[in-house]
Structure formats: C-alpha cells, structure tokens
Amino acid sequence: MHEPQRKPDDDLILRVEDLAVHFPLGGGLFGRERRLLRAVDGVDLSLRRGECLGLVGESGSGKSTVALSILGLLKPTHGHIVVDGREVATDSQSADRKALARTVQIVFQDPYASLNPRQTVRRTLEDPLRVHGVAAKSEIEDRVATMLKHVGLRPEQADRYPHEFSGGQRQRIGIARALILNPKIVICDEPVSALDVSIRAQIINLLLELKDTLGLSYIMISHDLGVVEHMSDRVAVMYLGRIVENGDWREIFERPAHPYTQALIAAIPDPLRHAPLATTGGDLPNPLNPPNGCAFSPRCRYAEAVCRSEPGPVLETRPDGHAVRCWRSEEIAGQAALASSLSGHP
C-alpha cells in the first residue's frame, strides 16, 4: 500500500461533480404510478495521477453505476465528469467515445464471462488496436507480446483460447485487454472477487506493479475492504447512491467516523484487527422507497431522532482530507480512536 502524496489540484486526472443517475420506473399502461430509482444521487469524486481510489459499499450502493457513467456508457441525469481535462459527453453516440476509451478502461469482475470464448488471446488484444488505429500493423504483434509479458503470460500463449487458461490467467488476459490501448485510468470492478483465495494476492500484486510501472491511476471498486485497504491511497464509501465518507486510507481504517464504514471494517476477516467497533443488521433499503432522514438510520445503532428526520449534513472535506455525512461523526470517530488505542492497533 502506498502512502498518499499531496499534489496540486491541476494534477487531477478525474473530477466527478454532483453526479446523479436516476431511472424512471412505472407509468404508462393502466395508469401505474411513475417512480424514480435514484441509483446515484449527488456524488463528488476526484482522482489524482498515479493514485488508487477505493470505492466501496454493498451491492446496490451505486458503485458500478458511477463506473459506467465515467466510462461514458450511462447518461447521467445531471452532473459533470471531467477526464484528463475534457468533459465526458452525455451523448452516447458522440465521436468522443473513442477518445474516452483510450483514456479510461475497465477490468471486469468475472474473467470467465468477460472474454469471448471464440476469440484467441491474440485476437482479443489486437482488435482494440485496430479499431482505434493506435498502432501500425508492423507494431501490433510486438505490442501484444509486450503486454502479455507485462501481465505475466508468455507471448507464445497468444494463439490459445480462453478455455485453455485458469481463472487467474484469464483475469491476467482481461487486465492485458484493458491496458493494450495505454489508458491513463483503469477502473477495477471487483477484479478478484471471482477468483480463488490463493490467486487473489497474485492479481492484487500484479495490479500494484502495473500501476507503478505504467503510471496508471486506479478506481478500485469493491465490497471487500480488505482488498481496498491493501491497494488504495484514498477511500470513498458509498451507501444508497451517495458518498457517506471519504478520506486517506489511514484515516478511514484507523478513525472511521461513519457507522456504516465501521461496520464494513468490522467485517474484514483479520484475526489481528481490534474488536468490531460497530455492527449492522438487515439489508440495504429499497432505493425506490428510501428511509426518511439519514438513509442508514434504520440499521444504525447510533441513530437518534435527528437521524430519522433529517438527511446527514453536507459532505464537506476537512483540512485533513476526511469528509463524513453523519450527525454524530465526531463522537463516533472519537470512539473509534479510543478502541484502536486500547487494543494496541497502530
């Protein structure tokens, strides 16, 4: 894990401002009432060059919707996404999509489903180069061979099909495909969750090595804070379409100030970690019928009257880089720091 380095604002490679993605449901036949699914509702994010931002939360929290919006595959309801100084066009037919694809790529969760079983590895890696015209014909074979070496595979394996590889090797092919266009940002969407435990560490270490070697910036999407803790410089925690806490990884893991973050950290299977600070029960609320007040209040052991009647305070980043959307964040962070010190956790 890398210590975050403070850099000037002009070093931002990605800026997301007030992003919202709403899906209208119902209406039309038989006079059904039209309802609105607020998959993402006012998200602000930033990513610096060479940085890894962990984006965490339960399934249904909106993480993948944010990713698809950044990739230009979903049209936001409102908000702005600026990638490497250029705003992402909201028109999905825009000619800028090719330029965006050369800047931002994604590594998918399932290496078994994300590769075409009828294409060789060579074809999988060559097609993006041909479509985007970023390499001469004489260079394509060399670029494919070089990229396979980067991900720990042999160039002579290029003429094999996906079924001839293990799960970990397939994910290496998926990583090679994401990197073949030399992108600046790579979104890793649960890149190790479908792999055997014995293989996960290898893929995580490979991603970290490639990040440093190629000067990449990552968004690491996961519900597993153990993976995020190992890889991320900063962490943003999502709950029901909103960021509820973000900051440097050390602040998040040592002094979590939102009860949802505490519950996620408590679930990390680490026998050396101090006793859980908080637990949560139940499932994510129905986004079509969110709770009044703070969306987390029905599951929160700290909730009081104001939490059930008023949304959490505006998410404002403090001078230490830590931002929390919780009425009782100062008290909760103090309890977290005390528990950490009593347990001897650094």
- For residues 148-160, give the mean pLDDT: 97
**Residue 113: strand pairing partners:** none
Residue 150: the pLDDT is 97
3-class SS at 168? helix
Helix, strand, coil % over all residues of the chain, rounded to 5:
40, 20, 40
Longest Cα–Cα distance of the chain, Å, equals 68
Q: With bands split at pLDDT 50, 70 and 90, how would you rate the model's confidence at 278?
A: very low
Residue 272: the pLDDT is 43
Residue-wise pLDDT for 58-112, tens only, equals: 888 999 999 999 999 999 999 999 999 999 876 555 557 788 999 999 999 888 8
Question: What mean pLDDT is reported for the chain?
Answer: 86
Contacts of 137 (CB under 8 A, 6+ apart): none
Domains in the chain and their CATH numbers?
Answer: 12-261 (3.40.50.300), 262-283+290-346 (no CATH)
| Dihedral sign from CA coordinates of 247, 21, 291, 310 | positive
Distances 62 to 92, 169, 209, 220, 334 between C-alpha atoms, Å = 20, 29, 28, 14, 29
Q: How many Å apart are CA 4 and CA 32, to the nearest integer?
A: 51
Residue-wise pLDDT for 107-130, tens only, equals: 998 888 989 999 999 999 999 999
DSSP characters over 15-47: EEEEEEEEEEE--SGGGPPPEEEEEEEEEEEEE
Residue 71: the pLDDT is 94
